[in-house]
Structure 1
Amino acid sequence: MPAFLLPIFGIILGLIIGSFLATLTLRWPEGRSVLAGRSSCDSCGHQLRAWELIPAVSFLIQRGKCRQCGTMIATDHLAIEIAAGLIGGLALFAAPGFDGLAGAIFGWLLLTLAALDVKHHWLPDSLTVILAGSGLMAGFFLVQPALQDRLIGGLTGFAALAIIAALYKRIRRRDGLGGGDPKMLGAIGCWLGWQALPVVLLGASLIGILVALSWRLRGKSVAADSMLPLGSLMAIAAFPLWLFQTAGAGLPY
């Protein structure tokens, strides 16, 4: 396939995978099987036909409503499909070939974890393990970052947030971080290497400040105990950082 077509392929593949990921984020927290059974409307049970399952396109054609009962379809599904398409296209634009496909997998896993964290404050261990394992596996095939940097990144990423969480709980007598956050930062370290972890945390912090400011502007109360999905914030910071690393943008570290 010509190199200039790879980003388009990445977008199409991402839209398809995004449809699956959107279903996963809906069904998994409810204990429903992701693979078993045909897709159907959550409101009336109408079984969806093939032309109603075209990623993004079907949503737009049906104007975001179930064709049978007219109930509005959750926009989360469309957002995840579009995000997955963008991840696939950007990854294969930054690195046409295996490196780009690996980066797309990194982005799709981050997207899934981010969606689950935003909606359910849940970072499943099984998915975090897949993120970490795939990052270390990529180290055997990709030159940068080196495998030892990925291993150190996994250990230091987990240890850093675990220590912060323990100190916070000891001082404040309450949890300040979710149990999945240290594991997720460690998994990100397995992809980006230990050198990138301060940048990920800085980016997540800045994004968190912007989120808190948007809440204030909308009249929502923001206090010391307000819950921000740190896993999602780290995911949003981590994928663009991978793009910069891959494109050789020359980050300060």
Structure 2
Amino acid sequence: MFSPLLHHPVIAPIAAAILGAILGSFIAALVGRWPQGRSVLTGRSACDSCGVTLRPWQLVPIISYLVLQGRCAACGGKIGRDALLVELVAAAIGGLALALHPGWPGVAIAAFGWLLLPLAWLDFRHYWLPHPLTLALAIGGLIAASAGIPPDWASRLIGAVTGFGMLSIIAFAYRAFRGREGLGGGDPLLLGAIGLWLGWQLLPLVLMIASGAGLVIALVLQRRGVALTSATRFPLGTLMAAAAWPVALLFALP
């Protein structure tokens, strides 16, 4: 029933973008509440400034923010842009995935992006890669493999072991030689989960893009006068996630 619609060149990307925006709203609530110890499954959304419970028409992804011009309808307080950005990115993930890869492969690539998004955002904002989210990403890779989405099982399993092993060895060596932590504990797990999606063949490309992006960011910060030291923290998880999804979109499928 759904297969013809998933292959439609217009309906499929638009529907995936709308679904992405809806999921993006949930992801935005998740990344906003979880670090504060608040549940995303209970309690109604409210204005951070005045505490007024938001009405359904104020919770329409993307559209409500634009209509309200980024302000609370009750108190006029400014609404943070994080939720809007997450919703836009999630919509773009869905639309691009189904536009370039009609059918179930596109659904898998969209799901990969949606699972990566909260991990990338939490690491960017809080240097935190929650294990339950990484586990969900890994389980998603197993489901995609079970559905017959390339790559094959062997490539995926080797990718998981290789991804986790590489960063674990680097973290161990850094700690042994420098006497302090150089990588967060969630980074090897994240790369392992990414390897479970992409297979071992694409992991070097993911790391190359992530490292290159980190270098560019460091150079830009230095040009702006930011002092960088060996203790300066970079959200490696964010960089890997931001590299992994475009690699999946462009190279993961034959």
Q: Fold conserved (TM > 0.5)? A: yes
Cα pair distance change 1:225/1:111, threshold 3 Å: same
Residue 68 of structure 2 corresponds to 62
Question: What secondary structure does 2:10 align onto?
Answer: helix
Deviates more, 1:78-87 or 1:33-42: 33-42
Query: How much has 1:143 moved relative to structure 2?
Result: 4.1
CA distance in 1, matches of 2:63, 2:222: 35
Asked if 1 retains the 8 angstrom alpha-carbon contact of 2:210 and 2:239, the reply is yes
Residue 24 of structure 2 corresponds to 18
Q: Of the candidates 166, 178, 181, which is equivalent to residue 175 of structure 1? A: 181
**Residue 112 (1) aligns with residue 118 (2):** yes
Residue 195 of structure 1 corresponds to 201
Matches within 5 A, 1:25-104: 25-104=31-110
CA distance in 1, matches of 2:132, 2:220: 32
CA distance in 2, matches of 1:46, 1:209: 43
Query: How much has 1:4 moved relative to structure 2?
Result: 2.5
Runs of 4 or more consecutive aligned structure 1 residues displaced over 3 Å after TM superposition:
none
Asked if 2 retains the 8 angstrom alpha-carbon contact of 1:94 and 1:246, the reply is no
CA distance in 1, matches of 2:134, 2:167: 15
Asked if 1 retains the 8 angstrom alpha-carbon contact of 2:151 and 2:253, the reply is no
Residue 224 of structure 1 corresponds to 230
Question: What secondary structure does 2:146 align onto?
Answer: coil
Query: How much has 1:115 moved relative to structure 2?
Result: 0.3
CA RMSD in angstroms comes to: 1.2
Cα pair distance change 1:155/1:246, threshold 3 Å: closer
**Residue 244 (1) aligns with residue 250 (2):** yes
> Which AA in structure 1 matches 2:116?
L
> Which AA in structure 1 matches 2:153?
L
Residue 251 of structure 1 corresponds to none
Residue 164 of structure 1 corresponds to 170
Residue 233 of structure 1 corresponds to 239
CA distance in 2, matches of 1:5, 1:247: 22
Give aligned pairs, total. 248
TM-score w.r.t. structure 2 length?
A: 0.95
Residue 132 of structure 2 corresponds to 126
Question: What secondary structure does 1:3 align onto?
Answer: coil
Question: What secondary structure does 2:11 align onto?
Answer: helix
CA distance in 2, matches of 1:88, 1:30: 28
Asked if 1 retains the 8 angstrom alpha-carbon contact of 2:150 and 2:253, the reply is no
> Which AA in structure 2 matches 1:80?
V
Query: How much has 1:188 moved relative to structure 2?
Result: 0.1
TM-score w.r.t. structure 1 length?
A: 0.95
